[in-house]
């Protein structure tokens, strides 16, 4: 069950993934910006899947972890496309669990494959972060460099050194969600830290206003930060997923 698998993509790139075989809907871990499938939350769900008998898949985005891909070509659309391809490669209902940027990707994948999604769990989801959170937060000289040169080198604690491209920001505008209705009928459970300094908790108020069609749980965690990786946070995440699994209808 620990074997690394690779999902081939039409352009020759591959998505690296690991799975646990169990029963019921497949829980899919969708990680954040510049994170990988070996993070604390992904591994906590892996352990829960083994203990509780879940079907579970965790994977690395294009140009993340041990998946292939040129970082400069990475976009929200590409990450969405890969998530949809992974769902298409699985059988039966799925429960995407998206963290930070992965929350945006999970929402987009749920819209693309609504008939397959039995529930969504979102952890400090960063829908529209390129436009709403990241771009406004960049120093002016960085924004000017991206506009002028097409890219800028960033060094950020916890994320290391990486390039931000104008193409990523421009392409992301095709996938913005907070300007209209988000029609997802599956239940959505949002876990959000009140002390998150990356994705402010009020960002989720707008998300809940835009979501239409299904039950929504907004779980504001008083002492929670952006990582939500304390033992209590991880227990809460596992239980949110378990609740979604127990309520999931049998989908074809």
* Structure token digits, residue 250: 């049998």
| pLDDT attached to residue 2 | 60
Q: How far apart are CA 25 and CA 130, in angstroms?
A: 31
Would you please indicate which residues are annotated as catalytic (active-site) residues?
100, 196, 226
What ranges do the domains of the chain cover? 5-127+180-246
* Structure token digits, residue 113: 């494959």
- Mean pLDDT score of the chain: 96
* Structure token digits, residue 62: 């294009």
| pLDDT attached to residue 251 | 46
CA distances from 194 to 44, 45, 155 (A): 22, 22, 26
| pLDDT attached to residue 64 | 97
Assess whether pLDDT exceeds 60 at residue 40.
yes
Assess whether pLDDT exceeds 80 at residue 249.
no
Per-residue pLDDT averaged across 15-26, rounded?
A: 98
b/e burial code for range 105-116 (CB count within 10 A of at least 16 → b): bbbbbbbeeeeb
| pLDDT attached to residue 250 | 56
**Per-residue pLDDT tens over the stretch 64-108:** 999 999 999 999 999 999 999 999 999 999 999 999 999 999 999
**Per-residue pLDDT tens over the stretch 136-186:** 999 999 999 999 999 999 988 777 899 999 999 999 999 999 999 999 999
Q: Which CATH number fits domain 5-127+180-246: 3.10.310.10, 1.10.760.10, 3.40.30.10, 3.40.50.1820?
A: 3.40.50.1820
Give the pTM.
0.96
């Amino acid at each position: 069950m620990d074997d690394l698998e690779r999902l081939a993509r039409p352009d020759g790139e591959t998505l690296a993934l690991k799975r646990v075989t169990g029963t019921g809907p497949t829980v899919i871990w969708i990680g954040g910006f510049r994170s990988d499938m070996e993070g604390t939350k992904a591994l906590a769900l892996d352990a829960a899947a083994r203990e509780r008998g879940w079907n579970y898949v965790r994977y690395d985005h294009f140009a993340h972890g041990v998946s292939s891909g040129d970082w400069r070509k990475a976009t929200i659309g590409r990450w969405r496309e890969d998530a949809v391809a992974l769902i298409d490669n699985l059988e039966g209902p799925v429960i995407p669990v998206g963290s930070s940027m992965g929350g945006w990707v999970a929402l987009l994948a749920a819209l693309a494959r609504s008939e397959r999604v039995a529930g969504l769990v979102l952890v400090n989801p960063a829908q529209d972060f390129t436009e709403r959170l990241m771009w406004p937060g960049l120093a002016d000289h960085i924004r000017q460099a991206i506009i002028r040169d097409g890219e800028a080198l960033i060094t950020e604690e916890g994320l290391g050194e990486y390039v931000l491209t104008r193409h990523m920001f421009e392409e992301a505008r095709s996938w913005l969600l907070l300007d209209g209705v988000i029609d997802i009928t599956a239940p959505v459970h949002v876990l959000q830290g009140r002390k998150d300094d990356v994705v402010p908790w009020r960002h989720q108020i707008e998300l809940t206003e835009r979501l239409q069609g299904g039950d929504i749980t907004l779980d504001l965690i008083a002492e929670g930060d952006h990582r939500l990786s304390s033992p209590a946070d991880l227990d809460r995440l596992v239980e949110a997923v378990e609740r979604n699994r127990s309520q999931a209808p049998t989908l074809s």
